[in-house]
Amino acid sequence: MRGNFTAAFIGIWVAMAALIVVVITGIGSDRTLSIVNIRQGLDLQGGVSILYEANIPNPTSDDMAAANNLLRSRLDARGYTEATTVQEGTNQIRVDIPGVEDAEAAVSQIGASALLLFVDMHGDVLLTGGNVQRATSGVFPNHVGVPEAQVHLQFDSVGTQLFADATRANVGSPIFIFMDDQELSSPIVNTPILDGTAVISGTFTPESARILADQINQGSLPFTLTDISLNNVGARLGEGALQASVIAGVIGVILLLIFLIFIYRTLGIAANMALILDGTLFLLIISGRGITMSLPGIAGLILSLGMATDANIVIFERIREEIASGKTLRSAIRTGYRRALPAILDSNITTLLAGIVLFYMGTGPIMGFAQMLIIGIILSMFTSLVVGRIAVVCLANMGIIKSHHILSQKQKEALEAANGREVAPDLEERPFVQKRKTYFAISAAIIAVGIVVAVIQTSMGNGPFDLDVEFSGGTSFQVDIGQPFDNSEIEAIVRNVTGESAPQVQAIMGTNEVHIRSTLYTAEARIELRESLIERFNIDEDAISYSTVSAAVSDQMRRDAMLAIVLATAGMLVYITIRFRDIRKGASAVLAQLHDAAVVLCVYVIFRVPLNYAFIAVMLTTIGYSINATIIIFDRIRENRSRLPKIGDESLINISVTQTLRRTLFSTLTSFSVVLLMWIIGVPAIREFTLPIMVGLLFGAYSSVCLSGSAWYMMKRKKKEA
C-alpha cells in the first residue's frame, strides 16, 4: 500500500517537472506556452504607439470623447485591456498597445469607423449610424407619466425618411441595433415614427441608458480616424523595471516556500507542491491565452498567490487543531479538510464573484486585474483542495508526515497530560471586543490625519491627491534627441522640472526620439523642461514638439470602475448575508472593506503617491484581502456558535478571532514579504505601486481581527436594545 502512495507522490512531481519544462522552453519552434511569450504591458515591455487624427479640422469635444470610447471598447474586445487611449490636442487620439507584433494588423483592427446598423427581423439593413445625428439618455415621463430611463435618437433628413419607412413596415416587430456585429438593443416598434425622433424605452437604468446612448454615438461619428504615425516604443517604467520585479518575485516566492517548511515542517512540503503547481499553471494559462502582464496584472497575481497560500494555511491550522484535540493523523487530515472547506469556499467564491463583476463591468486595466484574479482563484482552489490534499495523504501514508511534527510544545504537553483522552478545544480568549473603542479610535485618527493633510494640500493649491497624467491629463512632448540616450537620464530631467516621481518616458525604438507625458499645464513649466533638454543634449528648439493630452483614465472609465466596484461590493454583501443568514455580518464585512480603502486613500494623500492606473488595482487588492480574512473569522464564529451555544457574543468573537489569529498573521506575513521585496528592489514606480499595497495588507488584517467582529457585535447589541 505504501508503495502506491509513493508512486502517486513521485507521479505528481514528474508531472510538475514536465509542466515547468514547458513553461521555460515552450512547445515547438514558436515556444508556445513559454514564459517568453507572455504579453507584457507598456509599463514593463513597451509596444506600439499609434496616433489617429480626425478627418475634419474641428470636431466637437463630445465627438472626440465618443471616438475615444469607441477605440477603448474595441481594444477591450480584442484583449488589449492594458492599452491606453488619450486625446492629444483637439483632433488627435494616441493609442498605445503593449506587446503588439504586427502593428499594421492592430491598426486595421481598431482604426476603422464603427459600423452601426439598424436591421429588421429578416436581416435587411434599414439604415446606418451615419443617419443618426445624436443619441441622448435621461429620465423622462413615459406614456402614462411615470418617470423612466430612456434613450432618445435624432435622425438627419435622410435618416428621418428611412426610419419612417422602416417603422411603418415593422409595427409590432423589433428593429435590431448592431455595432460591429454586436447587438446593442432590439426595441419593439409600437407606431410609425415620422418626425425623425425616436424613443427607446424598457427596463433601462439611468446608467444602462447612458451606455447605450454612448454606443450609438460611437457608431454615428461624423468623421473617420486616420492613423498618421506608428512607432514602436519602449517600456514606460524603464528597462530595469521588469527585471527588478522578476528578481523580487522569485526571491519572495523562495522565502515563502522556506517559511511554510519552517512553520509546518513536513506539511509544508505539500503546500510547496501546491503553490509551485499553482504558479506553473498560472504562467501556462496567461501565456497560452495571451493575457497581458502589467502592474494591475501583477496586483491580481499577488492577490491570487496570497489566497492560494492562505488556503493551505487555513487547512494546516485546522489539521493542527484536530491533532491537538487527540485525533489520529489520518482522522485529523480528513476532519481538517472538511472543516476548512466552508471557509475556503466562502472566501474564494466571494472574491471570485467580485472578479467576474469587475471583468464584465470594467474596462482597460480593471479587466486585466480581474482576469488575473479569476484565473488565480480557480487555480488556487484546485491546487490547495485537490493536489495539496493528495500530496498530504501520500506523505502521511509514506510515514513522512508525523503528528508530532505539527504540534507546538505546549500542545504536545497538553496531549500527553490527557493520556489518551480527548483534549478540549483551546478556548483562549483575548479581549478584542472589549478594546474596540481603542481600535476604532486608532482608525479614526489615521483617517483624520489623511483628511487634514488633504485639506492643507487643497488650500495650498495642490489638490488632495497627486494626480498622474493618466488621471489629470497634461502635456505630451515628442523630442528628437539626435543621439543615443539613456532613458533614466531623461526621467531624471523630467522629475527635476516637474516634481513627478515617475513620469512617463518612452523611447521610440529604432530612432533617437523619446515620447514624454507629464502633468505640466503651464507655459512656464513647458518652457523650463524644453530648455533643460536643449541645454543637456544641445538640440534645436524645433526638435521638441508638444501638445495637450487628455486623461487616459476617462470620465467613462472612472464611472465604469466605480459602478463595477459598487456592484462587486453589493454582490459580496448579498453572498455573505445569504451564506451566514445575517445581513449584519455582510454589513460589517463591507464596513471593514471601506475602512481599509479609506486608510489606503490616506496613504496616497499623506505620502503624495501619484494616482494612476495602478491605483485602481491597489484598491481592489486591498478589498480582496480584507474580505478574505474577515470571512475566515466569520466562518469560525458560525462554527463556534454551534459548538459553544451558551457563551455570550463577546466571548464568541474573542475566541474565534484568537483561534484564527495565527492564520491571519501567517497569511499576511507571507504576502507582505513578497510585496516588501518588490518595494526594496524595484524602481521608483514599482515602489509607489507596492507601498499602498503593503499598507492595505496590514490594515486588511487589522480590520478583520480588530474591527469586523466588533462591528457585528455592536450591530447585534443595538438591535437587542431596540
Q: For residue range 180-227, what is the model confidence (pLDDT) as tens digits?
A: 677 888 888 888 888 888 888 877 788 788 877 877 776 666 677 778
d(C-alpha 315, C-alpha 660), whole Å: 11
CATH class label, 474-549: alpha beta
Question: What are the grid coordinates assigned to 72, written together?
Answer: 477603448
Question: What CATH class does 116-218 carry?
Answer: alpha beta
pLDDT at residue 274 in the model:
92
* Average pLDDT over all residues of the chain: 84
* pLDDT over threshold 70, residue 173: yes
Which residue type is seen at 79? G
Q: Report the range of poorest mean pLDDT among 51-60, 109-118, 290-299, 544-553.
A: 109-118
When pLDDT is cut at 50, 70 and 90, the band that residue 703 belongs to is: very high
- What is the per-residue pLDDT for 137? 86
Of 320-329, 509-518, 597-606, 684-693, which one has max mean pLDDT? 597-606
List of residues 6+ apart from 542 with CB closer than 8 A: none
Question: Model pTM?
Answer: 0.76
Edge-first strand listing for the sheet containing 132-141? 132-141, 147-155, 197-200
pLDDT tens column, 547-605? 888 877 667 667 777 777 788 888 888 888 888 888 899 899 889 989 999 999 999 99
Residues 6 or more apart in contact with residue 453 via CB below 8 angstroms: 602, 605, 606
Cell numbers that stand for 658 in this block: 484568537
Task: Decide if pLDDT at 86 tops 90.
Answer: no
Residue 144 to residue 600: CA distance in whole angstroms = 48
CATH code linked to domain 47-113+225-233: 3.30.70.3400
Task: Tell me if 2-39+238-418 shares its fold with 436-460+556-721.
Answer: yes
pLDDT per residue as tens digits for the range 358-372: 787 777 777 777 888
pLDDT value, residue 655: 93
What's the distance, CA 535 to chain centroid?
42
Per-domain residue ranges of the chain: 2-39+238-418, 47-113+225-233, 116-218, 436-460+556-721, 474-549
Q: How far from chain centre, in Å, is Cα 553?
A: 15
**Cell numbers 423612466: residue:** 148
- pLDDT at site 637: 93
Q: What is the Cα–Cα distance from 15 to 10, expressed in whole angstroms? A: 9
Among the CATH numbers 1.20.1640.10, 3.40.50.1860, 3.40.50.300, 3.30.420.40, which is that of 2-39+238-418?
1.20.1640.10
* CA-to-CA separations, 715 to 515, 632, 718, in angstroms, rounded: 55, 19, 5
Give percent of the chain with pLDDT exceeding 90.
Answer: 24
Confidence tier at 613 by pLDDT (50, 70, 90): confident
Please determine, for residue 497, whether its predicted confidence score (pLDDT) is greater than 80. Answer: yes
Confidence of residue 38 (pLDDT cuts 50, 70, 90): confident
Task: Read off the pLDDT band of 103 (50, 70, 90).
Answer: low
What pLDDT is recorded for position 90?
85
Residue 25 pLDDT grade (very low, low, confident, very high; cuts 50, 70, 90) = very high
Class of domain 436-460+556-721: mainly alpha
